[in-house]
């Protein structure tokens, strides 16, 4: 089962793809999609939607999470909100079986850790997950990694 964690910024979309095999989670890749500044906003949104859909298909992603801004954030970027909305629409209308919107508390609940441990991981403390080199990576990369790991904990509902 493969999962993706997504973290949006106004100019880039970070993602991490994991695979869960027999209870063990393996990071397959993490990267970013740079949003072309030369495009108008509607075209930027279409660009991100098309590229993410291709990634979902290429990696056979079944579960997803989007690291969304916290409700208490003081500086909310309209561009980030637009991108998160388009990605949510894509997740609702593609091959993804289940997805979640990841606040820190939701992520902590899925990975069964305290919110403080999740915050510490996002801030660069590598004690929660021993992923080589992650403490030196950008905060957005760490957010996409922990969101992908949380998404891998989503269980597919069985329809009888």
Question: Residue 134 — pLDDT band, cuts 50, 70, 90?
Answer: low
Q: What per-residue confidence (pLDDT) applies to 157? A: 47
Express each pLDDT in 2-38 by its tens digit.
Answer: 999 999 999 999 999 999 988 888 899 999 999 999 9
Is 121 exposed, middle or buried, given 0-12, 13-18 or 19+ CB atoms closer than 10 A? buried
The residue to which tokens 């740079």 are assigned: 34
Phi, psi at residue 32, to the nearest 5°? -145, 155
- The residues that bridge with 158 in the sheet, in sequence order, are none
* Token pair for 160: 């009888």
Percent of the chain exceeding pLDDT 90 equals 59
Mean pLDDT within 57-69: 94
Name the strand (E) or helix (H) holding 100: strand 98-102
CATH class for domain 2-151?
alpha beta
Mean pLDDT within 46-69: 95
Flag the least confident range among 32-36, 45-49, 78-82: 78-82
């Amino acid at each position: 089962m493969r999962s993706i964690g997504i973290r949006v910024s106004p100019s880039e979309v970070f993602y991490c793809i994991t695979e869960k095999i027999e209870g063990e989670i393996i990071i397959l890749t993490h990267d970013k999609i740079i949003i072309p500044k030369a495009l108008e906003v509607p075209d930027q949104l279409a660009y991100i939607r098309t590229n993410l859909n291709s990634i979902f298909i290429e990696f056979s992603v079944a579960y997803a999470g989007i690291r969304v801004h916290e409700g208490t954030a003081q500086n909310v970027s309209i561009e980030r909100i637009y991108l998160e909305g388009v990605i949510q629409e894509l997740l609702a209308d593609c091959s993804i079986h289940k997805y979640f919107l990841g606040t820190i508390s939701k992520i902590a609940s899925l990975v069964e850790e305290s919110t403080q441990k999740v915050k510490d991981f996002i801030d660069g403390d590598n004690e929660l997950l021993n992923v080589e080199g992650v403490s030196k990576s950008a905060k957005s990369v760490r957010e996409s990694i922990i969101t992908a790991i949380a998404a891998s904990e989503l269980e597919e509902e069985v329809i009888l």
